[in-house]
Amino acid sequence: MKGLVLSGGKGTRLRPITYTSAKQLVPVGNKPVLFRVIEAIRDAGIRDIGIVIGDTGDEIRAAVGNGRRWGVQITYIEQDAPLGLAHAVKISHDFIGDDRFVMFLGDNCIQGGISPLIQQFGHSDFNAQVVLKQVADPRSFGVAELDENGRIDRLVEKPRDPQSDLALVGVYMFDHHIFEAVHSITPSLRGELEITDAIQWLITSGYQVFPYIHDGWWIDTGKKDDMLEANRLVLEEMQPVVHGYVDRDSNLIGKVIVEAGAEIINSTIRGPAIIGEQTRILNAYVGPFTSIYHHCLIEDSEVEHSIVLEHSTIRGMPARIEDSLIGRNVTVTRSPLKPKAYRLLIGDNSTVGVL
C-alpha cells in the first residue's frame, strides 16, 4: 500500500503567512502539519509516499527531503496548477500504479492517526473508504449520506438542507478503480476535477464505497483560528519535558516542553506550552496554548494562545499578545518614536486589533 499527500494548494485563507511560505509547513506544537501527516502514514505501516506539490514545491522539497528521517521514501509529483483533488490523483497514476493507497490532505490534523483505517481497508474488499466526522453544522462541508447497509450512497457539497451530519475529513482510501473514475468525470463549475465527483462515480458504477467514522478530533488548518485550535489540541496531548535551561527565578506551571538549547530566564511559562530549540524567554510570560518555534526571543513581553514561527523577536510589548499567528523572521516591539501613530502594512484577509 502507498500514501499520497496533497500539498499543492496556495493557502489563500492563511495569508499573509502563505505569501512567503507553504501552509503545510506552518507548525502546530512546534512541528509542521505536513510532518505530522507523514508520521501518521508511516505509523500505519506505509513506507512509500508521494507528495503532490505546486507553487511552493521547492520549499516543501527542502523541508521534507527524501524522507529518510522518518524511514520512508518520498516521491514528488508536480501539479502545474491547483485543478482539484481528483486531478492530483490523476497525475499520480504512474506513482501509484495498481496499488491500493491512502490519500491525505497535507494541511489536516487528525487525532490518533490512521492505523485503524489502514488495517480495516487492508483486510476488506472495499473499493474505496472515506473518513467521516460528525459535525455540528454540516452546511460548511462536503457531506456523506449512507444507505441502509451502511455504505455511502451520496455525497453532497455544502448542502443548504443537509440530510446527514457526516462531513468528509480529507482522508481517503482507494483501489485502482479510482483512476477509471477520475478519467470519467468532467471539471466542475469552478474548473476543477472534484474528488467528490470521482467518489460519486464509483458509487453510481456499483463499486463498494464505505465510510470510516472518526471518533477523535480533526482540524483543517486552513485558517488562522483553525491553526490555533489545532495547536491547542496537540499541546494538550504532549507530555512535559525539559531539555533546555531553566533558571531558579523562573516557573514552569503545568505541561511545559522546553526543547534543547532553549533558555528560560526570570520568566513564567504556564502550560500547555512549548518552547523551541535555541529560543530565549527573558523576563517574560508565556501563557497556555502557546508554541514558540526555534531561534526566537521573547523579552519583557507576554504571549498567550499563539504560535510564533522561527527566528522571530517579541520585545518590550506594553500589552499581552494573544490569539495570534506570527510569521518567520518577524520583529514585534514597542516603537519609541514620536508622534505616536500606527504605521501598518497588512496583507490581504488580515484582522488587526489595537488598543
Closest CA to 38 of 69, 78, 80: 69
Indicate the helix (H) or strand (E) that contains 265: strand 263-265
Note down the domain range covering 313: 238-333
In a domain, 347, yes or no: no
> Is the separation of the CB atoms in 231 and 28 below 8 Å?
yes
Within-domain flag for 174? yes
- For the chain, what is the mean pLDDT? 88
Residue 309: pLDDT above 60? Answer: yes
Q: Which helix (H) or strand (E) covers residue 181, if one does?
A: helix 177-184
Tell how far CA 345 is from the center of its chain: 27
Residue in this structure with the C-alpha cell 473514475, named with its chain if needed = 181
Provide the pLDDT for residue 240: 95
Q: Residues 6 or more apart from 141 whose CB is under 8 A from it? A: 135, 158, 167, 168
Amino acid 349: pLDDT:
57
Do residues 115 and 131 make contact, with C-beta atoms less than 8 angstroms apart? no
Q: Return the H-helix or E-strand segment holding 115.
A: helix 115-122
Strands 241-242 and 101-105: unpaired
Kindly list the distances between the CA atom of residue 240 and the CA atoms of 46, 248, 256, in Å, as whole numbers in the listed order: 29, 18, 5
Q: Is there a single domain that holds both residue 39 and residue 104? A: yes
The answer to whether 306 and 287 have CB atoms below 8 angstroms apart is: no
CB atoms within 10 A of CB 196: 21
Q: Are both 177 and 139 inside the same structural domain? A: yes
Total domains present in the chain:
2
Q: Are residues 148 and 296 in the same domain?
A: no
pLDDT of 27: 87
Query: Are 150 and 33 within one domain?
Result: yes
pLDDT at 18 over 80: no
Cβ 14 vs Cβ 224: under 8 Å: yes
Which of 300, 247, 249, 307 has the alpha carbon at shortest distance from 274? 307
What are the angstrom distances between the C-alpha of 224 and each of 102, 152, 272? 27, 32, 19
The enclosing domain of 317 has a CATH number of 2.160.10.10
First to last CA, the chain: 54
- Is 283 within a domain? yes
pLDDT-wise least confident of 19-33, 81-95, 264-278: 19-33
Instruction: Based on the fold, state whether residues 101 and 151 are members of the same structural domain.
Output: yes
Do 257 and 228 lie in one domain? The reply is no
The helix/strand count (H/E) of the chain reads as 8, 30
Q: Are residues 226 and 244 in the same domain?
A: no
Query: Domain holding 66: CATH number?
Result: 3.90.550.10
pLDDT above 60 (res 13): no
Closest CA to 165 of 132, 198, 123: 132
pLDDT score of 334: 82
Mean pLDDT, residues 93-122: 88
Query: From CA 228, how far away is CA 305, in angstroms rounded?
Result: 7
| Mean pLDDT computed over 84-103 | 94
The pLDDT tens digits of the residues spanning 215-272 come to 888 877 667 888 898 899 999 999 999 999 999 999 999 999 999 999 999 999 999 9
Q: 204 and 302 share a domain?
A: no
